[in-house]
Chain A
Amino acid sequence: MTTAATPRKLPWWRTLKGREALAGYIGISPWLLGFLMWGVGPMLLSAYYSLTEYSILSDPVFRGLDNFERMFTRDKLFAQALRVTGVYAIVTVPLGVIVGYGLALLLNQKARGLSFWRTGFYLPAVVPGVATAYLFAYVFAHEYGLADSVLQTIGISDPPNWFGSTKWSLPSLMVLSLWGAGGGLILYLASLQGVPTALYDAAKVDGANAWGQFWNVTIPLTSPVILFTFIMGIINSFQVFTSAFIITDGGPVNSTLFYVLYLYRKGWQQLEMGYAAGLAWILFIIIFALTILVLRTSSRFVHYEGE
């Protein structure tokens, strides 16, 4: 190390590597800042609020685990919200995947006018949630809605009061959700078209019939996309809000009290922000746990190329 050499030794941020790294950090800085300001910070705050009684009008008061104790031991509406949302998810997520995948399979039979069919089936998925809600309120209106007037025309004199009955309100919302099942179509089609035809030929040589090809070639090769849409379906179904809020507002008798609707009521109608923060954390934990569970169990069924 002589003084003559030092002019050539640059500080790290002037070196090629250093400049690239610096540019990289500057480049991601919007995200990093946002992550701290709108992500980590609020998450920590909301974890704290969940341990407090916070009526928004006065300062939060620390109450330990009181909110959670109340949820799991005394709050009947919390249990109801979990039940409603859980039943809804269990029915609509698998059915939604089956309907979407089934449509994609039909379209993948070299149907003519593919883009026409695809557009048609996908269309309901781009209809705004608010419009969907009003539309279905109208379709399922008692006696005079589309559903009931068809039923009466074919001779059923006492058709159900769909959204007005505790028995039918949740199933009606499930139908609404399945109406958008074509939303998975684009992904399923793309992955079905990605299955190499050579594999089908090989299966035929091995004597596989259509069912065998479907079960041993099509399903395994498209399973990653099925898994992806399944997980997204779970995440979305636990966050249902718009349709229930507009059509039934949780009723009748809390038969459609979805989880996020309950959270909204607690936070913005009853101004129990601490309790609402606790509800949000439970929601996060449920979604997280279900996602991990599905990912874990799926490794036995899902086929990834190159394995």
Chain B
Amino acid sequence: MGNPAVDERGSVAVQRTSIFDLQSPVVSRLFWRTVLYLLLAVGLAMFLLPMVWLVSGSLKPDGQVFTIPPTFIPRPVLWANYPTALAKFPFWISLKNTMTIVVGVLVGRVLTASLVAYSFARLRFPGRGALFLIVLSTMMIPYHVVLIPQYLIFRDLGWLDTPLPIIVPNWFGGGAFFIFMMRQFFMSLNKEIDEAARIDGCGFFGTFWRVILPQSLPALGALSIFTFMGEWNDFFAPLIYLNTEEKMTLAVAIRTWQFDTNLTYQAATWPELMVMSTILTIPPVLVFFFLQRYFIQGVVVTGVKG
């Protein structure tokens, strides 16, 4: 940097030898940094390439979906695929059905998982430890073991082809995972504040409602994100319980559309399937982008202690 004392030729020579001198700490560091970013960039490209392929497939004309060599930029870019697909596919009904389930599950889960978790975290009662162990151990039971009797129960209740079989069980604690997550969070809250509220004459449930819950927005945020993603992406339960197209969620409706041979809706073409897959992907990706902080907290709280 303009050091007049150094002979210009000499300094160039020094640089030349040192650039290939991996023993030099500066060069070695530079070398490894380059390798690191190269690895990361190549890795990321590999992970994101299929997503680019998805979006580009959704913008191609039907005949151009399959070409050799592969084209990533459709010519022409067919934005019209989107309105066409949305017109052929019962999008708004399916979206409404999906959101009914998301909201129904979410409300039940927020209310009951946090109440149950609060009781396990803050209230002392005989058998608390053993009962909480049972909560944890239910996480290991695969859904499929209880699926068949549950299905038959819901059939007898006349609930098949309604969202109730998916929503209602979540009004009973919302699932062990979420009880565990909320309890972990409540345990980390300062106990003195709710003890003070108790002394001021606030009941147990008043304390929960007015003191604990307002402090728990980050945890409730994580719970909401997980619930949204879980229900939005869920395929198995809606496939089992929802049989008519007017009742289906987006995920199952797309799969039904692929094979649809009745006259209500025309079967999908490849670009249209890519259109619907892209649309299905956008909300979880947006939620992940913008609410990452809560999402990451939730993952870490349940995973590291789990």
Contacts and interface: CB of A to CB of B under 8 A. Distances in A.
A182 B288 CA distance: 14
10 contacts: A28-B173, A45-B148, A126-B285, A138-B270, A139-B50, A179-B50, A182-B47, A187-B304, A235-B140, A288-B140
Contact of A37 (B172, B239, B273): B172
Interface of A: 17, 19-28, 30-35, 37-39, 41-43, 45-46, 49, 56, 103, 106-107, 109, 111, 115, 117, 119-124, 126-131, 134-136, 138-139, 141, 143-146, 149-150, 152-153, 179, 182, 186-187, 190-191, 194, 224-225, 228-229, 235, 238-239, 241-242, 245-246, 260, 263, 267-268, 273, 276-277, 279-281, 283-284, 287-288, 291
Contact of B40 (A106, A179, A190, A228): A106
B260 to A, nearest CB: 14
Q: What's the dominant secondary structure at chain A's contact region? A: helix
Which 10 A-B residue pairings sit nearest by Cβ, starting from the closest? A34-B172, A144-B66, A27-B119, A31-B173, A24-B125, A24-B123, A42-B149, A45-B149, A21-B125, A42-B146
Contacts of A138: 53-54, 57, 65, 270, 273-274
Contacts of B285: 123, 126-127
Given A111-B36, A126-B284, A153-B69, A103 B43 contact: yes
B92 interface: no
B304 A190 contact: yes
Interface of B: 36-37, 39-40, 43-44, 47-51, 53-54, 57, 65-70, 112, 115-116, 118-120, 123-126, 128, 131, 134-135, 138, 140-150, 152-153, 169, 171-173, 179, 203-205, 208, 229, 232-233, 235-236, 239-240, 251-252, 254-255, 258, 270, 273-274, 277-278, 280-281, 284-285, 287-289, 292, 296, 299-300, 303-304, 306
A267 B145 CA distance: 12
A28 B255 contact: no
B281 to A, nearest CB: 5
Contact of A149 (B51, B68, B138, B145): B68
